[in-house]
Structure 1
Amino acid sequence: MKILVTGANGFIGKNLCLQLEEQGFTDIVKIDRSNSTEELNEALKSVDFIYHLAGINRPKNDDEFKLGNADLTSHIISKLEELNRTTPILLTSSIQAEQSNAYGVSKALAEDVLNNYAKHSGAKVYIYRLPNVFGKWCRPNYNSVVA
């Protein structure tokens, strides 16, 4: 199985890729902000499953939320539709998707894009609304946790 991980160099992406490799998956396409749109488009032609973990949660301005969350998701889905593919996709969203702030709205828009993709194409879509996450490779003081 060929797996695409967007946000592969992020906190969740690094941990996921490590776990996939430990479970014996060897054909993992890792995409992060250093990759071009063309590289992402090329990967979408042949992958069997997508973990869409890429996103923006601490931008310099609120416009970046839409660009990095909703617009990136829309691009992925548009490309899959152009390729006539129904690749299953898992999106990590946020419990903030229920809020009316710029971040929450961008996450809700990304979820809507995926739900429409599933509805129109029959593709399997999985949306995980995560609360605050922490663990290995988490940047200090990025998400504070009290035990």
Structure 2
Amino acid sequence: MSRFAVTGGRGFLGWHLRAALRESGTAVDMIPVGEAFELDTATAAVDGAARVIHIAGVNRGSDEEVAEGNIRFAEQLATALRAATTPPPVVVFANSTQSTNGSVYGEAKAQSAELLAGASSDIGAEFIDVRLPNLFGEHGRPFYNAVTATFSNLVAAGESPTVENDKELTLLHAQNAVDLLTGAAPLASLGTLQRVETVSGLLARLQDYAALYRRGDIPSTIDTFDRDLFNTYRSYTFPAQSPIGLTRHADARGSFFEIIRSHGGAGQSSFSTTVPGVTRGDHFHRRKIERFTVLQGRARISLRRLYSEEVVSFEVSGDAPGAVDMPTMWAHNITNIGDDVLYTSFWTNDIFDPDNPDTIAEAV
């Protein structure tokens, strides 16, 4: 099994990176930096690793804190790299496009790149400097450093944010960022993966998603940027807006209810029967949108966010139908808790590709 060593693995981008590496089965060793740094521990982590990825950084605080924090982290990692008996062949830096703008933060990132490039040269490793633009993605921290997270959080809560400084943003989804950092996507593809959008345009997109999703509709996912941004938005609606209530029409002939309305893009529907006591699922998706709808019988749908122990469960029934959409990077399953056979409909926004299934085994 391949093994990577990572700084900042518990932060926003680090969480996304660890989720992505689950798919490839790559082990991850954490490298604490800052006050928690210990040279022996850090050296052991980088020793023999196939790739070292430096994510940890300081982007909030006084100018002194930002400058000293970023440079200190890079110096600590550089020391560990030089101390390794079997140094890694590749060192990757999650840098920022701001490294060239002359700001305190930008200068600190630029100096950090120089420190890591020097250490990489000393140990004979390839140094890859990945200059990332504004990142967005599921479970970003609102009111911190990403306007997408702030807008998503406010719109999901039914509020109406205002735009004070309408400017262009270059946006990149966190899962695309980690593909660049891990080598799963070539660095040359950065230009095609990122998207330029105005702040007001970003807000309008999120508000459009919200208007549709409140009705249980799925917006168009033809554009992968829309898919990724919608997945980001709906991470702020869960679990408060689940399950999605479906209107059941019944008469002497039987009953009828709609399962889904999708406004564009590919899609695939499937159907299963499950005998009492049996559980299906126990997997997660990085990008795929998946909806479970119980047609007949009683079920418990359970979900757990990756790297968390808290499980969210819903009991659903075909008598009062409700749909549950699986948030990306949450393990999920469905269990028949009734006495009869369970009938369930499954819908995904893409057609299953056995070469790229985006269905990663993970027990709830």
TM-score of the aligned structures, taking structure 1 as reference length: 0.85
1:84 shift after superposition: 5.0
C-alpha contact 1:66 1:106 (8 A) present in aligned 2: yes
The residue type paired with residue 94 of structure 2 is T
1:104 corresponds to: 106
The whole-number CA distance in structure 1 between the counterparts of 2:76 and 2:112 is: 10
Counterparts of 1:20-35 in structure 2, within 5 Å, are 20-25=21-26, 27-32=27-32
The verdict on how the C-alpha distance between 1:22 and 1:121 changes in structure 2, with shifts beyond 3 A counting, is same
The whole-number CA distance in structure 1 between the counterparts of 2:98 and 2:56 is: 16
The verdict on how the C-alpha distance between 1:42 and 1:66 changes in structure 2, with shifts beyond 3 A counting, is farther
> Per-residue displacement from partner, 1:35-72 (whole Å, max 9, x unpaired)?
8322333312342211111001012x222223321221
C-alpha contact 1:9 1:32 (8 A) present in aligned 2: no
Structure 1: stretches of 5+ with no match in the other structure: none
TM-score of the aligned structures, taking structure 2 as reference length: 0.37
1:50 corresponds to: 52
Greater RCO (CA < 8 Å, at least 6 residues apart): 1
Percent identical pairs in the alignment equals 29
1:121 shift after superposition: 3.4
The whole-number CA distance in structure 2 between the counterparts of 1:28 and 1:129 is: 22
The verdict on how the C-alpha distance between 1:97 and 1:78 changes in structure 2, with shifts beyond 3 A counting, is same
The verdict on how the C-alpha distance between 1:121 and 1:45 changes in structure 2, with shifts beyond 3 A counting, is closer
1:96 shift after superposition: 1.1
The residue type paired with residue 103 of structure 1 is Y
1:41 corresponds to: 43
1:134 shift after superposition: 0.7
The whole-number CA distance in structure 2 between the counterparts of 1:52 and 1:99 is: 21
1:109 shift after superposition: 0.2
SS at match of 1:100: coil
1:31 shift after superposition: 3.8
The residue type paired with residue 107 of structure 1 is K
More strand by share: 2
The verdict on how the C-alpha distance between 1:4 and 1:118 changes in structure 2, with shifts beyond 3 A counting, is closer
The verdict on how the C-alpha distance between 1:117 and 1:41 changes in structure 2, with shifts beyond 3 A counting, is closer
More helix by share: 1
Which has the larger displacement, 6-15 or 119-128?
Answer: 119-128
The residue type paired with residue 102 of structure 2 is S
The verdict on how the C-alpha distance between 1:36 and 1:46 changes in structure 2, with shifts beyond 3 A counting, is farther
2:52 is aligned with 1:67 = no
SS at match of 1:50: strand
* Residues paired across the two proteins, number: 145
C-alpha contact 1:54 1:68 (8 A) present in aligned 2: no
2:134 is aligned with 1:132 = yes
C-alpha contact 2:96 2:132 (8 A) present in aligned 1: yes
> Per-residue displacement from partner, 1:72-128 (whole Å, max 9, x unpaired)?
112211221133554211111111111222111100001111222344433111111
The verdict on how the C-alpha distance between 1:133 and 1:109 changes in structure 2, with shifts beyond 3 A counting, is same
Look at both structures and tell me which one has the larger radius of gyration over its CA atoms: 2
Which has the larger displacement, 48-57 or 36-45?
Answer: 36-45
The verdict on how the C-alpha distance between 1:30 and 1:78 changes in structure 2, with shifts beyond 3 A counting, is closer
